Chains A and B, each alone.
Chain A
């Protein structure tokens, strides 16, 4: 149980393109979903926390107009990287949890390369 599906796995696109990443909890309802970014050999960096039906809470330094998060249902959250540039190239990972003090379950991640 507790499967989180993230798509796509890989994205390669030109600078200026907007990219949407989907995160779905397949067998549980996720009260809270999280979006992380990880650069090579570095720690996970939390970008934002989203609750179903509410606006996402962004971490300090993360541009909310750049990284649009939608959490329309208890099983789906999306992250859109708008007008992506090469510096946005990274490994983006979503996670979901069922309730307070429950563990986060991670998707497989999306490797984004902006040319």
Chain B
């Protein structure tokens, strides 16, 4: 079992729709969770982080964390073509002392105009 699992996609949504990106992780003791966006040919960019169960909203983005289910998701409201990118879920498992981050392989999102 991979430490951080994401559906590779591609996930295709029409412009204006809600894009829902999902991620599961294997280490139940994980404390920190991150979402990064990576455009083709560019480096990853941090868009959200969440540490507590529940929802965290920032503009059009909402991160959701359910530690009991070992599940973290990212919702993008009013999706725009400029949101088309690969979204990386990342987790700091406790065995690294919080210093090492494990990345999922990413989900490719296409927003159709």
Interface size range of chain A in the complex: 20 to 34
Tell whether B99 is near chain A: CB-to-CB under 8 Å.
Answer: yes
List B residues at the A interface (Cβ < 8 Å): 31-32, 34, 36, 41-46, 49, 51, 88, 90, 92, 97-101, 103, 105-106
Which 5 residue pairs across A and B have the least CB separation, nearest first?
A100-B98, A101-B98, A101-B32, A109-B43, A106-B43
Q: Is the CB of B43 within 8 A of A104?
A: no
Q: Is the interface of B mostly helix, strand, loop or mixed?
A: loop
Report A-chain residues with C-beta under 8 Å of the C-beta of B88: 44
Apart from A101-B32, A103-B49, A106-B36, list 20 A-B contacts with CB within 8 A: A2-B46, A31-B99, A43-B103, A43-B105, A44-B88, A49-B100, A93-B43, A93-B44, A95-B44, A97-B99, A101-B92, A103-B32, A103-B46, A103-B90, A105-B46, A106-B43, A106-B44, A106-B45, A108-B43, A109-B43
